[in-house]
Amino acid sequence: MTDRTAAPVTVIGLGLMGRALAAAFLKAGHPTTVWNRTSSKATELVAGGAHLAPTIGDALAASPLTIVCLTDYRAVRELLDASDVELDGTTLINLTSGDSAQAREAARWAEQRGARYLDGAIMAVPPVIGTAEAMILHSGAQTDFEAHRPTLEALGTVTHLGEDHGLASLYDVAGLAMMWSVLNAWLQGTAMLRTAGVDAATYAPFARQMAAGVAEWLPGYAEQIDSGSFPAEVAALETDARAMAHLVEESEALGVNAELPKLFKAMADRAIAAGHGGEQYPVLIEEFTRPAAD
């Protein structure tokens, strides 16, 4: 039975993620209104208790809080920028993927239309929405976030990052950088070990232990970056560069693509040439904070 004491919420956009968001609100007892250009995508949600709004205007009017999850920011503007769409007094939370500049511009646009606006990023896949494993990031006015936190917690573990509307998008892409870097490093090692008959399943537990061990270094390395001081407490960058050379050589000898380790070494070599060879690995932050040479 729906708990009518729970705040109503509207979800606009019913792709895989949008449907997961709406289902989580329904499960938590929130009266949930949905809208999608293709109304058939709402069939299962309606059967579960959701109300399908006939128009986008009706969807927005149904709840004080509207969650938007579309393909991109352009789609959000095209949908909500129509003259007959009333945003005044609405709180919009945009969980559409995009970049930080788009998020800040969307905030300005929404506020000019009279809406309160939070930008967000979903660091989870649809099947885990509604569980603590789903991490949902928000940025914008703290007061707006706190006003709707009880409703948003139906989606998973929610976090407010700060007043800058672009922060959620920045954290999103920073998280993707971590994800792809870890996966690509694992694939590099897997490709090398396969040449000796070691399968991926055998290597995976070792790789997982390595990744977890490296993650333990991050707080200490972060202190060095934030202080701008990189004493070689564990190893000097020039020592790491020699190990990188071994990785490149072994990859090439095995007939495995060596582009990734060559990139590691090229960045280390530039830092060493700039006089940082005796400092610890996080000094490479200087290479990451400057544009790549053409």
**CA–CA separation, 85 vs 123, rounded Å?**
30
Q: pLDDT tens digits, residue range 233-280?
A: 999 999 999 999 999 999 999 999 999 999 999 999 999 999 999 999
pTM (global) more than 0.95: no
Q: pLDDT tens digits, residue range 12-54?
A: 999 999 999 999 999 999 999 999 999 999 999 999 999 999 9
Q: What is the pLDDT of residue 83?
A: 65
Q: Which of 9, 286, 293 is nearest to 147 (CA)?
A: 9
Average pLDDT, the chain: 95
pLDDT at 217 over 60: yes
Burial 163-200, CB ≥16 within 10 A → b, else e: ebbbbbbbbbeeeeeeeeebeebbebbbebbeeeeeee
Q: What is the pLDDT of residue 62?
A: 95
Q: What is the pLDDT of residue 85?
A: 86
**CA–CA separation, 42 vs 192, rounded Å?**
47
The mean pLDDT of 215-232, rounded to a whole number, is: 97
Q: pLDDT tens digits, residue range 226-245?
A: 999 999 999 999 999 999 99
pLDDT at 3 over 50: no
- The four Cα atoms 48, 54, 55, 61 give a dihedral, to 10 degrees, of -60
What percent of the chain has a predicted confidence (pLDDT) above 70?
A: 97
Q: What is the pLDDT of residue 290?
A: 85
CB 149: neighbour CB atoms within 10 A? 12
Q: How far is CA 245 from CA 194, 251, 260, in A?
A: 20, 10, 12
Q: pLDDT tens digits, residue range 135-177?
A: 999 999 999 999 999 999 999 999 999 999 999 999 999 999 9
**CA–CA separation, 160 vs 165, rounded Å?**
10
**CA–CA separation, 21 vs 127, rounded Å?**
10
Q: What is the pLDDT of residue 293?
A: 66
Q: Which of 213, 209, 188, 211 is nearest to 200 (CA)?
A: 188
What is the DSSP annotation of 113-134? TT-EEEEEEEES-GGGTTSTT-
